[in-house]
Structure 1
């Protein structure tokens, strides 16, 4: 099995979703994936099951599709756990209109917050003030204006909002995984 040299991007997953008969945006599931990896170390099998449920299929069409979906989880987990703090939400890129990109951020945030809400108040009360505020601020992103004109000001605003979502995701992960990022996976395993 080869490692993924280039990052899976939004368009690749959107095409995969279409091949499974789903018009759903991968952004929503990516938001859920990020929060689930941070809160409960989501297992590969559980992720595959969740994606299939989201796509309305019993299982991926073929082995390559399953590997891509599992690669998506692995990519997100590696980025969240990486000391470079280079996690990026899976969102539409510059090939999409500003409106589509804003809608992608909105959908990502809805997925992320859905998992946070499911975590329960008791768990959230143990979080740092900074994390609780960052998550609270994300709530505002669910109501952002998505019918945007393509201009520099809107582009800058969307970048800032996306950066806030990215930082909130990394803060959630690092608080739930003390001592990380500093990925231990590079150590050899002994049998």
Structure 2
């Protein structure tokens, strides 16, 4: 299943459940929660509706997210609309993803930014700024806006990996985590 298919399926499931959350915001929240506690149940990422109808989708999203976060090749990717969507929609989704991620980090109230390395604290500060991102009319027409957006997504992707690696205890042995079924 492609990123686009997952995004669309989650978007439809959230709408049917009556949630006001977006797929990106939900994935961001889940990812932030998993950075603090990788055993976190995924239903907690949807806080405005009963998530029982979304259980299967959220379980799958959790597994895909953890696989990316634990992957030694750093394959984690934020769940965002595909490149066929308007740039404005993608920028808004990225901002909501970042807001969700920050919420997920602080969800349990035991996130201590002061305990982070300077580099990771800077990433958290940057994600805070990105959560306010929006596209202006001038930027929507600029050729460089697409490249800028791609760079921001890559920054978020790598930054989240760094946050995850710093917050999660080190694994022993060559295997980073057990295979999930």
- Pairwise mapping of residues 1-191 of structure 1 onto structure 2 (< 5 A)? 6=2, 9-44=6-41, 47-51=42-46, 53-54=47-48, 56-57=49-50, 59-60=52-53, 65-117=54-106, 123-147=112-136, 148-149=139-140, 151-179=142-170, 182-186=175-179
Partners of 1:82 and 1:182 within 8 A in 2: no
Distance 1:6 1:139, change over 3 A: closer
TM-score (structure 1 length as normaliser): 0.79
- Please identify, of 128-137 and 148-157, the stretch whose mean Cα deviation from structure 2 is larger: 148-157
- Please identify, of 100-109 and 10-19, the stretch whose mean Cα deviation from structure 2 is larger: 10-19
Q: Structure 2, unaligned stretches of length 5 or more?
A: none
- Please identify, of 171-180 and 115-124, the stretch whose mean Cα deviation from structure 2 is larger: 115-124
1:100-154 CA-partner distances (Å, limit 9, x unpaired): 0000000011111123345668722221111011111112112222345255311
Task: Work out the CA distance in 1 between the residues paired with 2:51 and 2:157.
Answer: 31
Distance 1:123 1:12, change over 3 A: same
TM-score (structure 2 length as normaliser): 0.83
Displacement of 1:18 after TM fit?
A: 2.1
Flag the structure with larger Rg: 1
Task: Work out the CA distance in 2 between the residues paired with 1:162 and 1:120.
Answer: 27
Partners of 2:87 and 2:140 within 8 A in 1: yes
Displacement of 1:27 after TM fit?
A: 0.9
